[in-house]
Structure 1
Amino acid sequence: MTMNDSPQVAAREAVRALRPSQIREVANAGFGLPDVLAFWFGESDRVTPAFIREAAAAALADGATFYSPNLGITPLREELARYVSRLHGPTRMEHIAVTSSGVSALMLATQLVAGAGDRVVAVTPLWPNLVEMPKILGATVETVPLHCGKDGWVLDVGRLLATLTPGTRALLVNSPNNPTGWVMSREDQQTVLDHCRRHGIWIIADEVYERLHYPPDGRVSNAPSFLDLAGRDERVIGVNSFSKAWLMTGWRLGWLVVPESLMGDLGKLIEYNTSCAPVFVQRAGIAALREGEAFVEQLVGELRASRDHLVGALSKLPEVEVKAPPGAMYVFFSLPGAGESLALCKRLVQEAHLGLAPGSAFGPEGEGYVRWCYACDPARLDAGVERLGDWLAR
């Protein structure tokens, strides 16, 4: 048998069936083009604060280059327990696990509670990683879409409860939501939590944007959380990350809040996935928590201002429909051509050198919209809006 006669080499079917990232597809179309204004990824254009970088540098200078415990170093777990306790009520270190990124935390949470043949429900539109993760494990995913009304994106709670039938293994909720900025109300969280308690359904709460919350009264206030309502040993897993509130996207550091009874098994999963997070990165996380509260509050104020600035500028463009979201760091809006959002975003890159994320990247429920990350300087936002306006005029 020659090499050309060899059987085709391929990944297993569940992997081949995964959706590729359309955000990356658009970004790839822009690589090599000069002067592209990119707003497609969910990160700020600012570097991580100096006090966090200096903590990591000091840790490296001290030789913190060895393995750590699977669940994270004790000082960081203790600091996270204090942080979570301050935001959401009493939480012990024994409920905290450190992970190598928020996305790793989401995958670990899914691995803990869902497997082949299980049924998982997700509220969408949603960051595609969350919808695809259960499918890697052989689970099926059914979606319940938000819908956009006159006041923004809302959830039909009755429809969600009807979908959460007995035998459902887990519910995935991301609030504040990527891409829409929707924030689940505390009343809806209580209703859903009570329903899941009755039927033994796990809740995986992706709350990485919880600090990026913009109440109408202008207060600095974290978004409602399932951790505010549920006991730490209930079927609720809180997922979080250092990426957004402390501008640490490239550091890949996250954490989980889980029932203590799961910690032994979670430690095994971390061992077989990444073993541990780097110690010098964990030291940076300690600095973020201990010294970063003033920075987070300032950042939230700046993001609110950037949101308002972008919404105001976009609303002046003809045929653009946009509303100010109550959370996260994105504006999810409609414009002419967004009914085929992937093709539209590729055209915007090629013809206007403007990089936006297609709504279809977040599932079929997102088609008709595009996502713009506003975590950047207002002058950069103005330049992007000007390019969009010129392109629409043409």
Structure 2
Amino acid sequence: MPDVLSAALTPAAPAPATVPNARDAVRLLRPSQIREVANAGFGVPDVLPFWFGESDRVTPPFIRDAASAALASGATFYTHNLGIAPLRETLARYVSALHGPTSVDHVAVTSAGVNALMLAAQLVVGAGDRVVAVTPLWPNLVEIPKILGAHVETMSLAYGANGWQLDLQRLLGALTPDTKLLMLNSPNNPTGWVMSRDEQRAVLEHCRRHGIWIVADEVYERLYYPNEAGQGGMHGGMQGAPSFLDLAARDEHVICVNSFSKAWLMTGWRLGWMIAPASLMDDLGKLVEYNTSCSPAFVQQAGIAAIEHGAQFTRDLVADLRASRDHLVQALAALPGVDVKAPPGAMYVFFSVPGALRSLDLCKALVREAGLGLAPGSAFGPEGEGFVRWCYACDTARLDAGVERLTDYLARHHTR
């Protein structure tokens, strides 16, 4: 008689083989073409990487020292979901100085700006909702609502003699009453376009009428180079780009996302914040708990130092970036077949170059054959095809070396 116990313990025959897959909404997300180009650069000696959106300079010492001191004092425990009180209070004062009265009840600290964007979408978007995004655009803003099952439609900026511009009436026409959310990024990655205050006012009034949420990605607001003084907000003598916070009451259907990454060179620290209606904060706290629980305490202490002691640093950084932008635009404009305009914001030049109608192929070839790392325009949606993005957050000697490599590549290939 068979051993009953042994038979019971014998593994059953395996079921027919199936491949474990993520759900369809995740599988259909666009992979990063910027990362694809960067991966193509592994093993290529002496590549000049201008593909990522960060400076080649490290975070300044006064911020690093604040984090070190916080670690030394034992700031290694969980914090409040919405951030430590001193940082939220510091952010409230900072935002108030730039954009008008803002209480701590409207401030939430997040684990990076991209985390804030995901949290904002999770707060207001669900499966089947209609979302409109203004493109070309950093792909995270287009793809995040799709993770939640939303349907995303894009409305492209237009490129012309004055660079990238918004067709305001076309955007308003796209914002139909069945739209749940508008995703905007100004100053814009990749184009450097900056939405004017009049455009913001028209969009805000339209969204008010139809109950449409606005999520404004304003992480580049301090990297702003206006042609005229007095455009945008001011804080400690430093300029900020026009913001929806200049116009909207704090309890409207508006969520503004920001980050420490750009204006204080803290990309690797993963610290951001959002300004949102107070009525969302309890639910936002739940989402933070189920995503990350909180931002690290010692990193939050570094954020306080960045804002309280970083006014002159950011002022100097913006001046350096403006000089680098102007230097690169002038050098690129001298190349045959290149069409480039000086953008009013962010840290990128998004320009047309021979061969960029297949921008991913071009950027991979530039890495392999010229040791030059640029981001393909197609990484920012089909509206960006025909262009490439160059991050100019570095010294002019490095930019000159990159332009020389691009010049040599174009001369060899005679690309039309």
Fold in common (TM above 0.5): yes
The alpha carbon displacement at 1:6 in A equals 1.8
Aligned to 2:62: 51
Q: Are 1:161 and 2:172 counterparts?
A: yes
**Residue from 247, 254, 258 that aligns with 1:236:** 254
Identity %: 74
Query: Matches of residues 65-76 of structure 1 in structure 2 within 5 Å?
Result: 65-76=76-87
SS in 2 for 1:109: helix
Indicate how the Cα distance of structure 1 residues 4 and 353 shifts in structure 2: closer, same or farther if over 3 A, else same: farther
**Residue from 387, 393, 405 that aligns with 1:387:** 405
Aligned to 1:287: 305
Q: Normalised by the size of structure 2, how large is the TM-score?
A: 0.94
Q: Are 1:370 and 2:388 counterparts?
A: yes
**Residue from 270, 276, 288 that aligns with 1:258:** 276
**Residue from 335, 339, 346 that aligns with 2:364:** 346
One-letter code of the match for 2:73? D
Query: Matches of residues 213-224 of structure 1 in structure 2 within 5 Å?
Result: 213-217=224-228, 220-224=238-242
SS in 2 for 1:169: strand
**Residue from 251, 276, 289 that aligns with 1:271:** 289
Q: Are 1:197 and 2:215 counterparts?
A: no
Distance of 2:171 and 2:297 partners within structure 1: 41
Distance of 1:221 and 1:295 partners within structure 2: 13
SS in 2 for 1:184: coil
Aligned to 1:177: 188
One-letter code of the match for 1:89? G
Aligned to 2:328: 310
The alpha carbon displacement at 1:218 in A equals 6.6
Distance of 2:55 and 2:191 partners within structure 1: 17
Aligned to 2:126: 115
Q: Are 1:15 and 2:20 counterparts?
A: no
The alpha carbon displacement at 1:216 in A equals 1.1
The alpha carbon displacement at 1:3 in A equals 6.5
Aligned to 2:234: none
The alpha carbon displacement at 1:217 in A equals 3.5
Indicate how the Cα distance of structure 1 residues 4 and 315 shifts in structure 2: closer, same or farther if over 3 A, else same: farther
Distance of 1:3 and 1:315 partners within structure 2: 64
Distance of 2:367 and 2:262 partners within structure 1: 25
Distance of 1:72 and 1:58 partners within structure 2: 18
Aligned to 2:243: 225
Q: Are 1:321 and 2:339 counterparts?
A: yes
Write out per-residue CA displacement over residues 133-189 of structure 1, whole angstroms, 9 at most, x where no aligned residue. 000000000111001110110000101000000021010010000000000000000
Identify the range of structure 1 (213-222 vs 152-161) with the bigger mean alpha-carbon deviation: 213-222
One-letter code of the match for 2:216? A
Q: Number of paired residues?
A: 394
**Residue from 246, 252, 256 that aligns with 2:264:** 246
Identify the range of structure 1 (235-244 vs 212-221) with the bigger mean alpha-carbon deviation: 212-221
Write out per-residue CA displacement over residues 79-129 of structure 1, whole angstroms, 9 at most, x where no aligned residue. 000000000000000100000000000000010110101000000000001
Q: Are 1:361 and 2:379 counterparts?
A: yes
Distance of 2:133 and 2:214 partners within structure 1: 10
Unaligned runs of 5+ in 2: 1-11, 231-237
Aligned to 2:95: 84
Distance of 2:77 and 2:239 partners within structure 1: 38
Distance of 1:217 and 1:160 partners within structure 2: 26
The alpha carbon displacement at 1:253 in A equals 0.1
The alpha carbon displacement at 1:5 in A equals 4.0
SS in 1 for 2:179: coil
Higher alpha-carbon Rg: 2
One-letter code of the match for 2:192? G
Write out per-residue CA displacement over residues 187-212 of structure 1, whole angstroms, 9 at most, x where no aligned residue. 00000000000000000000000000
Distance of 2:318 and 2:14 partners within structure 1: 58
The alpha carbon displacement at 1:54 in A equals 0.1
Distance of 1:5 and 1:308 partners within structure 2: 62
- Indicate the RMSD between aligned Cα atoms, in angstroms: 1.1
Identify the range of structure 1 (49-58 vs 4-13) with the bigger mean alpha-carbon deviation: 4-13
Distance of 1:393 and 1:32 partners within structure 2: 25
Write out per-residue CA displacement over residues 300-324 of structure 1, whole angstroms, 9 at most, x where no aligned residue. 0000000000001111111111000
